[in-house]
Amino acid sequence: MDHVSSILYRAWTGAVERADVHRALDGLPVPGRVELRSRYLHLRDASAVLPATLGEPLDEASWEEIVRLEHEGDAALGRSPNEAAGPFRELAGLEHSARLRVVTVHALFGLGDAARQLDDDRCLDLFGEAIDVARADGYRPGLVRALVSCGYALMVKAALVEAGAHFEEAARLAAELDDRTYRANALLGLGETRMRQRDLPAARRDMWAARRAFARLGSPIGLGNVHERLASVFKSEGRLRDAADMLREAEINFEAAGTVIGRVNVLEQLGDVAVADARYGEAEEAYRAAEREAARHGYRRGRLNALDGLARTAREQGDWTAAEARYREALDGYRDMEDVVGTVRAFDGLALSRGANAGPAAELAERVRSVQELERLRAGSGRHDVQVEYRNRFTGMYGAALRCAVDLADLDATVYLLECLAGRRLAGMVEQDARVPADGLAAHMLARADQRLLGRLPPADGTSRQERVKRLLGATALREGLAGQAAAEADDAAAALYLPADPAEAGDLLGAVPPGCHVLFCGYGLTGTPEPELAWLWRAPSGATACGRAPATGHLRRLVDLAAAPTVAERLGPSVRGPSWEDVLPPGLAEALDGTEPADLVVLPIGALWRLPWPAVRLPSGRVLAGHARLRLCPSLTVHRALVRRTAGETASTGGRMSWRNPDLSAHQLAAAAAWRTASGPSDVRTALLEGGPDLLAVVAHGRHNGGAGYLELAPGEVLPLADMLAARPPRRLALVCCWGGAPPGEIPADPVSFGLVSLLRGSHEVLSCLDELADTAEATMLVNRILHRLDRLPLPEAVRDASENLFKHPALRDQALYHWAPLVCLGAYTEGDAR
């Protein structure tokens, strides 16, 4: 046993007071070997339990064997990951403590690091278990190491939000522990995360901080990693000379450290710099050297990255046949490894190659396949923010596919891509028909989502591997549990139901809409062009269908920007003009809607277009949609089809009519509901919303959002959280007059989870709700009462249209600010009953 190990052993087994630790370690510098440094830092951690106080003996021979195996495994990780698993497996059987499982933690993240370097997805599970054990036992140095390793594994899966959170926690803990080595590693990981999120200034800041730390430590491998990643940043900024300088520094560092992976990565980046500088011969030479070195040492990702570089070199030289072959080989490997970034990059290159070699239709086929892959990966996470991150990070892939489909007028592909971009949380929720208890909702939804995902989307080759990745990513992202995240509970519970669209269903989705209505599927800024475009698909009552895209008008862009304004006066006040038909309707649809007779229109808005005041869209004649069309909003064609099927077999209920008004409101007296049964109190309304009862329920209340968590304020101090509605069986017809009832405030990345839409999906046939704040005024009260008065004899869309038309006969009311009337909209589907 060497001198340092001997001192640490005596302190580990003999120090029962902090003073004992200080005496034992006095004058001992921080050990360089990581297995000794972690124990040293634990003994120095004032918040940690001292192992000698646990009464768990550890003899000197066992200590020596444990330390030897850890050192042997760590050394093998730098040389050849294949050799590292053996020592760490042996180490796992030497745990001697039940309350401070240091050996277990080291074995777990050692095995995880070996698996990660060998591109084995089980690393996520191993790191997750190491994090859990270290956190439970208060072993903070081990927690730091596991967080850093897990952060890098998550980065490969493009889960950058989660990776960044891991690195940030690790950097904070390392600073508290004065673990300078792992603080530097965490800063480097954070810098790379920022780079992948395209925040290059923040990436440079974190990487330079890591470089200073590694320089003070004299760590060649740390400096090599920093220099190699800084080269990537410089390359992204077009600073090719600076990138080459950094790579030369990294090459020297990695030679000194003797690490294979570092040398391969440098060769690949040298190839990238040469390609960017049109030095194709040098690029090919560098990539081939990287491929040989990676293959010799079993570094699969390195070999695939080199293949991708060779494909790019061929493409830049116009050799599309060679490019296609190389991209195919790289793609197969990346998919098998579940390397998200590599898969997306290879798909993009393959699509371009197929387009050059076989024409636009072949390119579209590959682009649709690439979106299928992304959607499968999005479904693998039960976290809403991670699903949004995939969508935002790879918006270029979705946009390229949509442009290709629309330009080829491929209706099936356009439907499929719009369905993906519309969001698949609500599509999954509409198929969730089991009654579940609210207290077990999250777990139930996750379990049902797993079963349905597997049944609906059987993967091709590598089923067990792909399913393992889905489960492991879910376990990592959801380690704290859905139920404990109050602000995001509804979003995350819905995210757990994310169900990928199926390209083969596109024709059926359109065909499921009964004849007699117009359907407009539309999105803003989805095509990935420098300036935002409006993309659309329009199906006429006859079944004739067209698609297109066009630059967004200046007014539409202003309205989208205004939707983020903090006050309703800025969004929908007197100075705001509603959208014109030219802003949102494709050629021909405005004229079709502007005839002598009212028409039926279902709008499927995507993302930002949910914030548009659709009832206020002005037609060529000067009339607005609210008074001249039976307007419905629906989240997607999948949801629309499900609602049509569900309502086909329903019979009218005789449950009567109930109304409720929050007594705190200054307006909205429900004069039209005077003959209805008034709810006895908030609990009566809650029961009706969650369990049904009346056939028609009108609720006028405050819709609130507190830190992202939505709730209804039924009366002062009486609230109903949106999360509770996810298990509800609401009334068949529902007038839910509350602010934000149809769409929540803030950014809407895809499908909004709101009270109105959740009610629709959980059983309501038609829902009246608000896309923004509805004014608490006499004008708004008049419109609401006129709608309610007509519900005895008219379906909700016609009641809204008729009441609006009647209201707009008064010029003073027609010209009122939009917040008096435009937020009110009907949510639902055009059904067979409507067609008759």
Is the same domain home to 608 and 683? no
Is the same domain home to 542 and 595? yes
For residue 424, the model assigns a pLDDT of: 80
pLDDT band at 434 (very low <50, low <70, confident <90, very high): very low
How is 39-88 classified by DSSP, letter by letter? HHHHHH-TTSPPGGGG-----HHHHHHHHHHHHHHHHHHHH-GGGTHHHH
Q: For the chain, what is the radius of gyration of the CA atoms?
A: 30
Q: Let me know: does 48 contact 138? Beta carbons within 8 Å.
A: yes
Whole-angstrom Cα distance, residue 648 to residue 832? 7
Q: At what angle do helices 34-44 and 3-14 cross, to 10 degrees?
A: 40
Helix H or strand E segment including 481: none
783-817 pLDDT tens trace: 999 999 999 889 999 999 999 999 888 777 777 89
Predicted TM-score (pTM) above 0.95: no
Highest mean pLDDT out of 115-129, 367-381, 514-528? 514-528
Of 144, 168, 184, which residue constitutes the final position of a domain?
Answer: 144
Cα dihedral: 191, 192, 194, 195 (round 10): 120
Is the same domain home to 21 and 48? yes
Instruction: Say if 704 falls within a structural domain.
Output: yes
For residue 157, the model assigns a pLDDT of: 80
Of 144, 168, 189, which residue constitutes the final position of a domain?
Answer: 144
Mean pLDDT, the chain, integer: 88
Is the same domain home to 778 and 656? yes
The pair of structure tokens assigned to 559 is 């309205």
The pair of structure tokens assigned to 289 is 């050297």
Q: Is the pLDDT confidence value at 166 over 80?
A: yes
Whole-angstrom Cα distance, residue 797 to residue 106? 63
Q: Is the pLDDT confidence value at 738 over 70?
A: yes
Is the same domain home to 109 and 39? yes
pLDDT band at 32 (very low <50, low <70, confident <90, very high): confident
242-295 pLDDT tens trace: 999 999 999 999 999 988 889 999 999 999 999 999 999 999 999 999 999 999
Is the same domain home to 685 and 812? yes
For residue 753, the model assigns a pLDDT of: 85
- 3-state SS class at 716: coil
For residue 283, the model assigns a pLDDT of: 97
Is the same domain home to 679 and 541? no
For residue 708, the model assigns a pLDDT of: 59
Is the same domain home to 652 and 787? yes
The pair of structure tokens assigned to 574 is 């007197």
How is 141-194 classified by DSSP, letter by letter? HHHHHHHHHHHHHHHHTT-HHHHHHHHHHHHHHHHHHT-HHHHHHHHHHHHHHH
Instruction: Say if 590 falls within a structural domain.
Output: yes
Q: Is the pLDDT confidence value at 472 over 70?
A: no
Q: At what angle do helices 60-79 and 34-44 cross, to 10 degrees?
A: 120
Stretch 379-384: mean pLDDT, rounded?
67
Q: Is the pLDDT confidence value at 625 over 50?
A: yes
Whole-angstrom Cα distance, residue 104 to residue 130? 8
Of 575, 608, 637, which residue constitutes the final position of a domain?
Answer: 637
Count of domains forming the chain? 3
Whole-angstrom Cα distance, residue 394 to residue 57? 53
753-777 pLDDT tens trace: 899 999 999 999 999 999 999 998 9
pLDDT band at 836 (very low <50, low <70, confident <90, very high): very low
Domain that holds residue 123: 3-144
In this structure, which amino acid lies at residue 164? Answer: G
Instruction: Say if 529 falls within a structural domain.
Output: yes
Q: Is the pLDDT confidence value at 661 over 70?
A: yes
CATH code at position 653: 3.40.50
Is the same domain home to 131 and 101? yes
Q: Let me know: does 747 contact 705? Beta carbons within 8 Å.
A: no
680-715 pLDDT tens trace: 999 999 999 999 999 999 999 999 876 556 889 999
Instruction: Say if 327 falls within a structural domain.
Output: no
Instruction: Say if 774 falls within a structural domain.
Output: yes
Is the same domain home to 619 and 656? no
Whole-angstrom Cα distance, residue 4 to residue 671? 85
Whole-angstrom Cα distance, residue 386 to residue 495? 9
pLDDT band at 127 (very low <50, low <70, confident <90, very high): very high
For residue 78, the model assigns a pLDDT of: 67
Q: Let me know: does 329 contact 307? Beta carbons within 8 Å.
A: yes
Q: Let me know: does 162 contact 197? Beta carbons within 8 Å.
A: no
**Percent of the chain whose pLDDT exceeds 90:** 69
Lowest mean pLDDT among 9-13, 421-425, 628-632, 754-758: 421-425
Stretch 204-218: mean pLDDT, rounded?
95
Instruction: Say if 614 falls within a structural domain.
Output: yes
For residue 828, the model assigns a pLDDT of: 95
How is 597-654 classified by DSSP, letter by letter? S-EEEEEEEEGGGGGS-GGGPBPTTS-BHHHHEEEEE-S-HHHHHHHHHHHHT-----
* Beta-bridge partner residues of 736: 699
Q: Let me know: does 92 contact 128? Beta carbons within 8 Å.
A: no
For residue 479, the model assigns a pLDDT of: 33
Lowest mean pLDDT among 235-239, 588-592, 664-668: 664-668
In this structure, which amino acid lies at residue 832? Answer: E
Instruction: Say if 172 falls within a structural domain.
Output: no
Whole-angstrom Cα distance, residue 584 to residue 590? 9
Instruction: Say if 444 falls within a structural domain.
Output: no
CA dist list (Å): 715 to 217, 234, 756: 62, 58, 19
Is the same domain home to 687 and 827? yes
CATH code at position 31: 1.25.40
Is the same domain home to 803 and 696? yes
Q: Let me know: does 298 contact 335? Beta carbons within 8 Å.
A: no
Q: Which residue has the tokens 């690949």?
A: 268
For residue 467, the model assigns a pLDDT of: 44
Per the model's pLDDT, the better-predicted residue between 306 and 388 turns out to be 306
